[in-house]
Chains A and B, each alone.
Chain A
Amino acid sequence: MFEVVRLTLTLAAVTTVLLLLVATPLAWWLARSPSWWKEVVAAVTSLPLVLPPTVLGFYLLVALGPDSPLMAPLHVFGVRTLAFTFTGLVIGSIFYSMPFAVQPLRTAFEAVGREPMEAAATLRASPLDAFFTVAVPLARRGFLSAAVLVFAHTIGEFGVVLMIGGGVPGRTEVVSIRIYQLVEALQYGQAHALAAGLAAFAFISLLVLFLIDRRFSRLGA
């Protein structure tokens, strides 16, 4: 039981950190680029919101499987497949939670507007300097929302992790899958403990998010 919770929290933490690193430049580009076809990219990153997780999980399974051309470069390192591995699970989670990071960050970056960035430029800040010293601090609410939503959403996912991870005990079996298996085995007591724990966790994360957000807005940030 403890092993399952630990694996779930590790997956959520690793996914949150990596996804914020991927989503930040992407959201910045979506917020600032004048091109119309950026909306094509925005639509693709939002697909997990509307696709059944099994569809996404299925294609990820194919893409990370031994016969996938994407895996071919890894064969030389002795890695034949990432399906049913923790790494595969992380990759799947990153795609699945992508919109929960990109949307709040894009909105926050758009709210920063051009003027503070232009002011920073006339104060001798290079674009990268201005990004870290002006855009990121001004978009901090977006970063907080993205981090909390991605972490909570990763813990709550089921379809994708089942498809791509297969629920291998100790390696890819997360809390949501364990609950399913406990119910299958009619072990309602243990299922209850885990399910109630997840529900409480989800509630607390959202409450923390709203409280911090409220505090930020009071400070006029």
Chain B
Amino acid sequence: MSTAAAGEVRLQGRVGALAIDVAFGLPVGVTALTGPSGSGKSTLLRAMAGLERLDGAVRLAGEVWQDEAHFLPPHRRPVGYVFQHAALLPHLSVRRNLDYGRRRAGMEAHELDHVVALLALEPLLQRATSRLSGGERQRVAIARALLTRPHLLLLDEPLSGLDVEAKAELLPQLRGLFSQLAIPVVYVSHDREEVGRLTDTTLVLEAGRLASAASPAALAAELAGRSRAEIEALALAAIHAGLSTARRPSG
């Protein structure tokens, strides 16, 4: 493998009319989770955080977050979660929003300064959350998530509520930020172009199942150094997977 999987996710279950059944590894770096609306992207992300209960297993960095016998509640999972509309706590200032998770995760105050600098939040710290623009809210939400010392960062369509300019400003910032993180990041978006600018590891979800799990570049890296027999076996498996995907009515 080119990238060591830091974690693995295997989840099944029904949520409303949707049947989810997925299994994938979580390498360090950004994995995009994309697919049409209603395909279960957000549900899957919520399940990884423990906000939604599905069967299966989630393991990360040698820790079991859930399996047949265990289920860690969300507050016991070292996860950073960025909600679609930021979900800042409306009764707290920006600074107290950042401190809320930082204190509970046992991070030092000086680590706040680092993250604040990274996301250029210094001028916003004393502000009420109601007086932030959409882009500012998301930056605060991302900083807040990072300040919980996460082993896994989950982002649920963080740019979907923003206008074009705010998106264009925040996207390169995110890319720079992610490149500095040494943890797996799962980034949910229905926008393939947005995803393409962040990572080349993409999982496509269709009606609760994974349609494809790797880009050509990732595949090439995967094949380097393998024997001919191995490559042939992988190719056969890929063709088989591709055929079964093509046969399914696409969403």
Query: Cβ of B80 < 8 Å from any Cβ of A?
Result: yes
How far in angstroms is the closest Cβ of chain A from B156?
11
Task: Give the size category of B's interface with A.
Answer: 20 to 34
How far in angstroms is the closest Cβ of chain A from B102?
9
How far in angstroms is the closest Cβ of chain B from A111?
11
- Please list 18 pairs of residues, one from A and one from B, whose beta carbons are closer than 8 Å in the complex, sorted by A's number: A116-B90, A118-B74, A119-B81, A122-B49, A122-B75, A122-B81, A122-B148, A123-B75, A124-B75, A124-B104, A124-B105, A125-B75, A125-B104, A126-B75, A129-B75, A134-B91, A220-B128, A221-B90
Residues of B within 8 A of A119 (CB): 81, 83, 87-89
B window 113-147: CB within 8 A of A: 128, 130, 144-145
Listed residue (A118, A123, A130, A133) with the most chain B CB atoms within 10 angstroms of its CB: A123
Q: How far is the CA of A123 from the CA of B147 in the complex (A)?
A: 9
How far in angstroms is the closest Cβ of chain A from B89?
6
Partner pick for B100 among A118, A120, A127, A138, CB 8 A cutoff? A120
Query: Cβ of B176 < 8 Å from any Cβ of A?
Result: no
**In the complex, residue of chain A having the shortest beta-carbon distance to the beta carbon of B49:** A122
Residues of B within 8 A of A130 (CB): 75
Query: Cβ of B51 < 8 Å from any Cβ of A?
Result: yes
Residues of B within 8 A of A133 (CB): 100
Q: Is the CB of B89 within 8 A of A120?
A: yes
A window 120-144: CB within 8 A of B: 120-127, 129-130, 133-134, 137-138
The 5 closest A-B pairs by CB, nearest first: A123-B101, A124-B104, A122-B81, A121-B74, A119-B87
Residues of B within 8 A of A134 (CB): 89, 91
Q: Is the CB of B89 within 8 A of A122?
A: no
Query: Cβ of B183 < 8 Å from any Cβ of A?
Result: no
Q: How far is the CA of A122 from the CA of B75 in the complex (A)?
A: 5
Query: Cβ of A184 < 8 Å from any Cβ of B?
Result: no
**In the complex, residue of chain A having the shortest beta-carbon distance to the beta carbon of B50:** A121
Query: Cβ of A39 < 8 Å from any Cβ of B?
Result: no
Residues of A within 8 A of B145 (CB): 122
Q: How far is the CA of A189 from the CA of B88 in the complex (A)?
A: 58
Query: Interface code B95-118, partner A: CB below 8 Å = 1, 0 otherwise?
Result: 000001100110000000000000
Q: Is the CB of B51 within 8 A of A121?
A: yes
Query: Cβ of B172 < 8 Å from any Cβ of A?
Result: no
CB contact under 8 A between A138 and B148, given known A121-B51, A123-B100, A124-B101:
no
Q: Is the CB of B74 within 8 A of A122?
A: yes
CB contact under 8 A between A115 and B87, given known A120-B100, A122-B81:
yes
